[in-house]
Amino acid sequence: MQLLESMVAAAIMAASGAASLQLWAGLCQSTVEETRNQGGADQLEAELTAIEASLQQLALSRGALAPCGQAAPALLEKLQARPPATTVHRDLSLLLDEDALQVELSSEGKALSRRRVYNPAALGLCTPASSLPTDPSPEAHG
Amino acid sequence: MPAWSRSLRPPRTATHCRQSVSAEAGFVLPLAVTVSLLLLLSSLSLQAMALQGQFRLAAEQRLRRSEDSLVSAAHHLVARLQRDHACLLPATLDRWASADCVAPPDLQPLSEGETPEGRWRLLSWQAASSPMDGSGRKVMELLLELSSPAADTSLRAAFAVTLAGEPLVVSDLRLLGWRGRV
């Protein structure tokens, strides 16, 4: 009777130990993944913040880059000259119909991504048509 | 030894030995069950905490994607105002309908649009600073709402749009922060 009880107790302990070990392994894996994802998300956020800071700095220092409608390529050039501050993957592309710049950031393994569209016209980085100097027309002189 | 003393001592019989062995044996199984349950419960509670952390991270990611969509929508709207309807920039939203410079059908695309995260709607465009505060600038507050059908919620974010120059043109756009969840 005592042998049987000991065997049953050992079997219960072994089963619960194995299940617990499996849960702990899953827990460790998910904790590592969560930490990595959190770090990746923070890096993406930091990169976006750096991009917006440089856009605002550009607006303060340089003002308009080009007439509105043609400023996105100049903005793309300015941002491409600045390398990403972190180890994120950065993809800059033009939306020519909107005269906008699309910024896509992704972490390693592309598990996380961010995407924002910036318009130079909304940042004071282009000269609106209403503010452009008008060419003197021949009629005005004639 | 007197006869009365011998009669008080309990006799060591076979029955007594069996009871002692069975008491020791009965202790092992409940102990094993209790330890196993404690082990499993503690592991499960930790697992639940890890899952909660994953859900929190996923919710944060959704919020950040919503923020990206709202920022993109704000840029789109302000750039469109600047490009096509600059006369509306210094006017508050309630005056847009009566503005002479824009036909009513043209106002519809300015008040809503689509993003990857859901549909955005213009809730408010109002002056955040006095028209002339000495700096020659005027700050307008833009309030947008993003309705996400997947999450069945609506998020609101406010932006500060700085107008400067003569005539007033957009010189800056900044996210002020969230203005609640509906």
Instruction: Say what the pTM is.
Output: 0.82
Extract the tokens encoding B135. Answer: 């700096």
Distance CA B172, CA A127 (A): 13
Which whole-number Å values give the CA distances from A55 to A79, A89, B89, in the listed order? 8, 19, 22
What residue of B is the nearest CA neighbor of A14?
B36
pLDDT score for A138: 46
Q: Quick check: A122 and B170 CB within 8 A?
A: yes
- Asked if the model's pLDDT at residue B32 lies above 90, the reply is yes
Distance CA B162, CA B141 (A): 9
- Which residues of chain A does B53 touch, with a Cβ-Cβ cutoff of 8 Å? 30-31, 34
Q: Assess contact for B110 and B143: CB atoms under 8 A.
A: no
Give CA torsion, residues B82, B84, B88, B89, to 10 deg: 0
Extract the tokens encoding B166. Answer: 């003569």
Chain B: nearest CA to A135, how far in angstroms?
A: 18
pLDDT score for A141: 42
Q: Quick check: B22 and A38 CB within 8 A?
A: no
- Asked if the model's pLDDT at residue B93 lies above 90, the reply is yes
Lowest mean pLDDT among A27-31, A32-36, B16-20, B100-104: B16-20
- Which residues of chain B does A19 touch, with a Cβ-Cβ cutoff of 8 Å? 40, 43
Q: Quick check: A114 and B68 CB within 8 A?
A: yes
pLDDT score for B130: 63
B-facing residues of A in 58-77 (CB < 8 A) are 59, 68-69
- Per-residue model confidence as pLDDT tens digits over A16-67: 999 999 999 999 999 998 898 899 999 999 999 999 999 999 988 877 778 9
Whether A3 and chain B come into contact, CB under 8 Å, resolves to no
B-facing residues of A in 6-65 (CB < 8 A) are 6, 8-10, 12-13, 15-17, 19-20, 23-24, 26-27, 30-31, 34, 37-38, 41, 44-45, 56, 59
ipTM of the complex, rounded to two decimals = 0.84
- Per-residue model confidence as pLDDT tens digits over B107-149: 888 999 999 889 999 999 999 876 555 677 899 999 999 998 7
Half-sphere exposure of residue A98, counting CA atoms within 13 Å on the CB side?
20
